[in-house]
Amino acid sequence: MIISVASGKGGTGKTLIATSLALSLRNKAQVQLLDCDVEEPNDHIFIRPVIDRTEAVGIPVPVVDEAICTRCGRCAEVCAFNAIAVAGEYVLTFPELCHGCGACSYLCPEKAITEENRETGVIESGKADSIDFTQGRLTVGEAMAPPVIRKVKERTNNDGVAIIDAPPGTSCPVVESVKGSDFCLLVTEPTPFGLNDLKLAVATMKELGIPCGVVLNRAGNGDKNVIDYCESEYIPVLMTVPLDMEIARLYSRGITLAEGIPAWQKEFIGLFDKITEIVDERNRCPER
Amino acid sequence: MKEIVVLSGKGGTGKTSIVGAFAYLAKSKVMVDCDVDAADLYLLLQPEHGEEHEFWSGQTAVIDGAKCTHCGLCEQLCRFDAIHDLVVDDASCEGCGFCANVCPAEAITMKENLAGHWFISKTKYGTLVHARLGIAQENSGKLVAMVRQQAKKIAEESGIELIISDGPPGIGCPVISSLSGTDLALLVTEPTLSGQHDLERVIGVCRHFTVPALVCINKFDINDANTRKIEAYCRNQGIDIASKIPYDSKVTEAMIHGKTVMEYNPNGAAQHMEKLWNIIIDRLGG
């Protein structure tokens, strides 16, 4: 089963929930944790894995053999991203604009274009106790997170429980991360920002057809609007974590909830059981 | 004209609350919300309904079932795994058009995407340019560029010398689009290991794009040891810490009331934000 953890708004506690869920389940199932927040991966801080496999990832960008090239301009014509251009007798490539679709090299009538890999990040895998861990790191200064996320997800193990920690927001990196999940946990806080961004995240999951439930974090000093919204939209609130200085202090030191306050492990196992129930129910009656 | 952008790397460190305070404090400015994925600044500034514009960007492949000969070439060549059983998965389609260019039956066309909307709104603190990216859409970087461009245009037309921009979390495409060519980046962090880790990466992005940076440690009293570590790190990097703002529950309360913290409770954290704003004004003036 693949469970992703997303949020819309940043800083609501995705990492806290994803790492606590992984730690709580590690004695019950074969657990894999995939950190797809490749712009700012933080899971490693909390589960302290031993990384034993590092792989560079990148985008295949065009290299033009100018001796063969006839400057016909077909490559520039088919490139949707303006990453290749013919100016007089020059062929210019703009590797940072290239999405690596391969259209130019395939469609070049002279077969003058080959591809080389432009490194944009790394994928790191290892173990933290019995948890299989993989994270992606986008190189600082690079813009495109989705190719790095795709590589992280290629390492998904379908046998056990795979937990995906998604980036904040609702655009392409989030879609790439949560796509293919059986369930998505949306972590929010009981504030107007939390609610606004939760609504956007819910709409994204609906668009992708992924069932979702809410974890309400920092409950206490907010308003009731998130709860009311969830009720009116029939979105289950599966867990509530209180606003608590002790939790915040542990978090600040890189200690996740399930480790710092072990009593929470039972809650996370309960959370997992509820998710399993929802996913099983949905698999029985897929039309719902 | 000067443009300041507020970034953080890690989400939820307080960017928007701080920009809300700046909105109250800055006399003459245009504000722009560059977090087009999850735009929240309008919730503090409570704008009147203003102009709304469509944002068309990028394309998605469409297969005409009547012309398709089921040869499968598109599916085989697509590197984004966006075509399954000759059906295009809109969320995966990158819009490269490779399939449309190779289809021997000419059964594939590319349709333009309505990728979002952008708005020019009036608030009691001045004009706010903001946007809403379409659900599960791409091209957030281009939408960021669009709202910045509009803000600049409005500032020029009305003789305003300052743009204050609320940035997105992360370090990728929309952050780069928010940052490039600005005069100053205020990096809001918190004294957590995650906050520090993410700050280091966003400092790297500022350096890459040669934008000067100032750091603000928000909720600095949550972990004094980490605050000292961040201070030491910034000192080594030659980056000034412009402010240390204490944890103050009034910041969240203000947000719940749809107000900037300056209006809601000018003591506490708000006082520090006011000092921070004065430092930024000095820095921009120099």
Using a pLDDT cut of 70, give the percent of chain B over it. Answer: 100
Q: Do A206 and A233 belong together in one domain?
A: yes
ipTM (interface predicted TM): 0.94
Structure confidence at residue A230 (pLDDT): 98
What is the pLDDT averaged over residues B95-108?
Answer: 98
Q: Do A164 and A244 belong together in one domain?
A: yes
Query: What is the distance in angstroms between the Cα of B29 and the nearest Cα belonging to chain A?
Result: 24
Over residues A12-31, the pLDDT tens digits come to 999 999 999 999 999 999 99
Q: Which domain holds residue A91?
A: 66-111
Instruction: List alpha helices for chain B, DSSP H.
Output: 15-25, 41-45, 73-77, 98-102, 140-157, 173-179, 193-208, 224-237, 249-256, 261-264, 269-285
Domains of chain B by start residue, with CATH: 2-46+124-285 (3.40.50.300), 58-114 (3.30.70.20)
Structure confidence at residue A23 (pLDDT): 98
Please answer yes or no on whether A42 and B137 come within 8 Å at the CB atom: no
Question: Per-residue pLDDT for A175 more than 70?
Answer: yes
Cβ atoms of residues A102 and B77 within 8 Å: yes
Structure confidence at residue B225 (pLDDT): 97
**Chain A contact set for B249 (CB, 8 A):** 221
**Chain A contact set for B201 (CB, 8 A):** 39-40, 140
Question: Per-residue pLDDT for B194 more than 60?
Answer: yes
| A28: enclosing H helix or E strand | none
Between CA B22 and CA A3 the distance in angstroms is 39
Question: Per-residue pLDDT for A147 more than 90?
Answer: yes
Q: Do A179 and A273 belong together in one domain?
A: yes
Among candidate residues A111, A146, A178, the one where a domain is terminated: A111
Q: Do A106 and A197 belong together in one domain?
A: no
Site from B112, B114, B117, B171 to mutate, A interface, most A CB atoms within 10 angstroms: B171
Structure tokens belonging to residue B72: 């499968």
Site from B7, B79, B83 to mutate, A interface, most A CB atoms within 10 angstroms: B79
Q: Is residue A53 part of a domain?
A: yes
Q: Do A224 and A268 belong together in one domain?
A: yes
Burial of B126 (0-12, 13-18, 19+ CB in 10 A): buried
Q: Is residue A237 part of a domain?
A: yes
Question: Per-residue pLDDT for A288 more than 60?
Answer: no
Over residues B4-40, the pLDDT tens digits come to 999 999 999 999 999 999 999 999 999 999 999 999 9
Between CA B135 and CA A206 the distance in angstroms is 10
* Chain B residue with minimum CA distance to A79: B96
**Chain B contact set for A224 (CB, 8 A):** none
Please answer yes or no on whether A78 and B101 come within 8 Å at the CB atom: yes
Among candidate residues A44, A78, A111, the one where a domain is terminated: A111
Domain count, chain A: 2
Query: What is the distance in angstroms between the Cα of B97 and the nearest Cα belonging to chain A?
Result: 7
Structure confidence at residue A69 (pLDDT): 97
* Chain B residue with minimum CA distance to A192: B256
**Chain B contact set for A141 (CB, 8 A):** 176, 204-205, 208-209
Among candidate residues A76, A111, A146, the one where a domain is terminated: A111
Q: Is residue A20 part of a domain?
A: yes
Query: What is the distance in angstroms between the Cα of B136 and the nearest Cα belonging to chain A?
Result: 5
Site from A177, A252, A257 to mutate, B interface, most B CB atoms within 10 angstroms: A252
Q: Do A91 and A228 belong together in one domain?
A: no
Over residues A220-231, the pLDDT tens digits come to 978 899 999 999
Mean pLDDT of chain A: 96
Q: Do A162 and A203 belong together in one domain?
A: yes
Q: Do A107 and A10 belong together in one domain?
A: no
Cβ atoms of residues B29 and B162 within 8 Å: yes
Q: Is residue A125 part of a domain?
A: yes
Q: Do A226 and A135 belong together in one domain?
A: yes
CA distances B283 to A104, B213, B214, B245, B277, Å, are 47, 10, 9, 19, 10
pLDDT band at A116 (very low <50, low <70, confident <90, very high): very high
Cβ atoms of residues B92 and B61 within 8 Å: no
Cβ atoms of residues B16 and B41 within 8 Å: yes
Q: Is residue A116 part of a domain?
A: no
Residue A96's CATH number: 3.30.70.20
Q: How far is CA A180 from the centre of its chain?
A: 11
- Nearest Cβ partner for B101 among A9, A107, A173: A107
Using a pLDDT cut of 90, give the percent of chain A over it. Answer: 95
Over residues B197-219, the pLDDT tens digits come to 999 999 999 999 999 999 999 99
Question: Per-residue pLDDT for A264 more than 80?
Answer: yes
Residue A128's CATH number: 3.40.50.300
Q: Do A251 and A196 belong together in one domain?
A: yes
Q: Is residue A160 part of a domain?
A: yes
pLDDT band at A287 (very low <50, low <70, confident <90, very high): low
* Chain B residue with minimum CA distance to A170: B37
Q: Do A142 and A13 belong together in one domain?
A: yes
pLDDT band at A285 (very low <50, low <70, confident <90, very high): confident
Q: Do A101 and A218 belong together in one domain?
A: no
Please answer yes or no on whether A168 and B135 come within 8 Å at the CB atom: no
| Whole-structure pTM value | 0.95
What is the pLDDT averaged over residues A52-58?
Answer: 97
